[in-house]
């Protein structure tokens, strides 16, 4: 395996480097009349240089098509050796007026030392060849810019999906035609997309990822390597989480590093925690609550007693949610306070706030959200239950977002203490499951099917529970006055 090459920054250049021009494309230009007479058929041209010096080595950068009429050619073998040593890509030799034909010794030297040799006819000026190479390079750069632009658009679209991290990896693997893996600093796979490379190449990719993992000062931001014909690269993500983007591809185009750099920026934003200036205070509040302090005691550390908004969220398609996807949802809503560890299929819980103005959650594509009204920190437990009910309502009505509205109108005219006492007395015969079913049924205008969907039970179960509620309360639930009275009471619990 080759020694990995490393760079100090994963940030891509504003555009991809100009791709090299394959020698075959230049030879295909029939108007030039070029003919390969020695050396290999494959070569990549980076630029054109004309020189009649006996030894142009000091003036070559590598990758040139060197054009010469052989004015000072005396030792072809030494001349070719110096060109190969300088990294020249090919030699174009012009016949006439200096040489009637290409010297046989030059042909033999190029064949022996593996340097492509082109015969340039007297009717083809060197400047014509140079213009043709620059034109081919411009066309290649334009194609590469279009490819990178399309990839950038595809990656940005993927980042806006409900599952942005796996979507970005999938799109990156598609654009580069290989494997894209998100790894932890210890080499554990978080997400992956694309065809899995051979086991030995996969192992080499994991080892390369450890090279750039931010576990020690001075670690490079990116590194590349090759293993058995597979090109490997690894990029450290920003945010200090120790995550690494690792890529394995069969070929490496000039714009691939730029495309990977775009993905690194997106994944860094998606995977990084959203931290505010008061993160230390919030951490201290969490510690105190874990040690037994009440919400009222820690409210000053949170910067404000409120308002806070509790959100419950589920994927609209019912897919399970991992921590990175939940974190991306939190970032889009402007919070790092996300709880995704409730098991596959369960709701993700988020906290918004506190802010001078109440948080206003908005719908997110691919998600169904239920939100509480803005509430003080001392009432978060009740707001959590409200958000759960709002999510159930949103799912039942197929709405992207349901926000629980604070009491207002006529209900606000009744003192809260009196309203709560009346509600407790009225609803005392009901168990908690019956009260929850009645609340959901009333909120959905008496729909059996939607209530069943919201509660995750059979519609017959809903009918039985509502019938039992009518019996225990000794009321007619078809009476609008009764429903209004019960709805008011249920809103106070």
* Model pLDDT for residues 164-197, shown as the tens digit of each residue: 889 999 999 999 999 999 988 778 888 999 998 8
Residue 432 vs residues 220, 362, 419, 435, 493: alpha-carbon distances, Å: 58, 31, 19, 5, 11
Max CA pair span of the chain: 116
The β-bridge partners of 370 are: 312, 402
pLDDT at 280: 56
pLDDT at 426: 81
If pLDDT is split at 50, 70 and 90, which confidence band does 408 have? low
Q: Which class would CATH give 35-123? A: alpha beta
Report the share of the chain in percent with pLDDT over 70. 82
Lowest mean pLDDT across 218-222, 248-252, 264-268, 468-472: 218-222
Sign of the dihedral through C-alpha 14, 154, 337, 356 = positive
Give the contacts of 471 (CB within 8 A, at least 6 positions apart).
none
More confident of the two residues 187 and 278:
187
Q: Which class would CATH give 411-491? A: mainly alpha
Q: How far apart are the first and last CA of the chain?
A: 68
pLDDT at 28: 94
- Cβ neighbourhood burial of 188 (10 Å; 0-12, 13-18, 19+): exposed
Give CA–CA dist 147/332, Å, rounded. 28
If pLDDT is split at 50, 70 and 90, which confidence band does 273 have? low
What are the residue ranges of helices labelled H in 242-322?
256-271, 279-290, 295-298
Give CA–CA dist 24/42, Å, rounded. 7
Give CA–CA dist 354/176, Å, rounded. 43
Ordered by start, the domain boundaries in the chain are: 5-10+145-271, 35-123, 302-406, 411-491
pLDDT at 344: 44
Looking only at the bridges linking them, the beta strands covering 178-183 and 367-371 are unpaired
What are the residue ranges of helices labelled H in 160-213?
164-176, 199-212
Q: Residue 314 above 70 pLDDT?
A: yes
- Nearest CA to 390 out of 350, 341, 330 is that of 350
Secondary structure tally for the chain: helices H, strands E: 16, 18
Length of the chain counted residue by residue: 493
**pTM confidence score:** 0.60
Residue 303 vs residues 270, 335, 437: alpha-carbon distances, Å: 26, 15, 37
Query: What is 5-10+145-271's CATH topology?
Result: Beta-Lactamase (3.30.450)
Q: Residue 410 above 60 pLDDT?
A: no
pLDDT at 1: 39
pLDDT at 2: 42
Half-sphere exposure of residue 418, counting CA atoms within 13 Å on the CB side? 5
Mean residue pLDDT of the chain comes to 82
Give the contacts of 320 (CB within 8 A, at least 6 positions apart).
344, 345
- Cβ neighbourhood burial of 403 (10 Å; 0-12, 13-18, 19+): buried
Give CA–CA dist 301/280, Å, rounded. 9
Assess whether the region 35-123 and the region 411-491 belong to the same CATH fold: no
pLDDT tens digits for range 125-167: 999 999 999 999 999 888 888 988 899 899 989 888 888 889 9
């Amino acid at each position: 395996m080759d020694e990995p090459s490393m760079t100090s920054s994963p940030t891509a250049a504003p555009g991809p480097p100009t791709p090299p021009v394959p020698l075959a494309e230049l030879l295909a230009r029939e108007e030039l009349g070029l003919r390969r007479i020695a050396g290999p058929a494959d070569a990549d041209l980076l630029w054109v240089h004309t020189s009649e010096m006996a030894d142009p080595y000091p003036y070559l950068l590598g990758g040139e098509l060197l054009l010469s009429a052989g004015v000072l050619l005396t030792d072809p073998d030494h001349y070719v050796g110096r060109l190969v040593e300088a990294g020249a890509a090919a030699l174009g030799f012009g016949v006439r007026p200096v040489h009637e034909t290409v010297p046989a010794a030059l042909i033999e030297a190029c064949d022996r030392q593996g340097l492509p040799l082109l015969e340039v006819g007297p009717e083809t000026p060197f400047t014509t060849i140079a213009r043709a190479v620059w034109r081919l390079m411009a066309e290649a750069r334009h194609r590469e810019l279009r490819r990178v632009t399309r990839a950038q658009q595809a990656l940005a679209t993927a980042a806006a999906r409900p599952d942005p991290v796996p979507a970005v990896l999938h799109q990156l693997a598609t654009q580069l035609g290989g494997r894209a893996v998100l790894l932890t600093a210890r080499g554990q796979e978080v997400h992956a997309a694309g065809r899995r490379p051979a086991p030995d190449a996969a192992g080499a990719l994991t080892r390369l990822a450890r090279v750039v993992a931010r576990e020690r000062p001075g670690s490079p931001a990116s590194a590349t390597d090759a293993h058995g014909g597979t090109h490997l690269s690894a990029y450290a993500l920003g945010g200090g989480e120790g995550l690494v983007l690792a890529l394995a591809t069969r070929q490496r185009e000039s714009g691939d590093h730029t495309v990977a750099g775009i993905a690194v920026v997106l994944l860094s934003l998606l995977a990084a925690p959203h931290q505010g200036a008061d993160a230390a205070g919030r951490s201290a509040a969490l510690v105190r609550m874990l040690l037994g302090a009440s919400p009222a005691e820690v409210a000053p550390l949170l910067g404000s007693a409120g308002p806070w908004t509790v959100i419950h969220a589920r994927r609209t398609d019912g897919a399970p949610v991992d921590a990175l996807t939940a974190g991306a949802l939190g970032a889009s809503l402007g919070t790092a306070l996300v709880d995704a560890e409730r098991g596959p299929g369960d709701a993700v819980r988020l906290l918004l706030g506190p802010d001078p103005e109440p948080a206003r959650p908005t719908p997110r594509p691919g998600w169904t959200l239920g939100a509480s009204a803005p509430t003080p920190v001392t009432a978060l437990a009740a707001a959590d239950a409200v958000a759960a009910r709002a999510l159930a309502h949103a799912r039942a009505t197929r709405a992207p977002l349901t926000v629980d509205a604070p009491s207002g109108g006529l209900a606000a005219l009744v003192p809260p203490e009196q309203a709560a006492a009346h509600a407790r007395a009225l609803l005392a015969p009901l168990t908690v499951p019956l009260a929850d079913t009645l609340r959901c049924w009333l909120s959905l205008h008496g729909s059996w099917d939607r209530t069943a969907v919201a509660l995750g039970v059979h519609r017959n179960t809903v009918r039985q529970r509502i019938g039992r509620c009518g019996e225990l309360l000794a009321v007619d639930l078809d009476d609008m006055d009764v429903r209004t009275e019960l709805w008011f009471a249920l809103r106070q619990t």
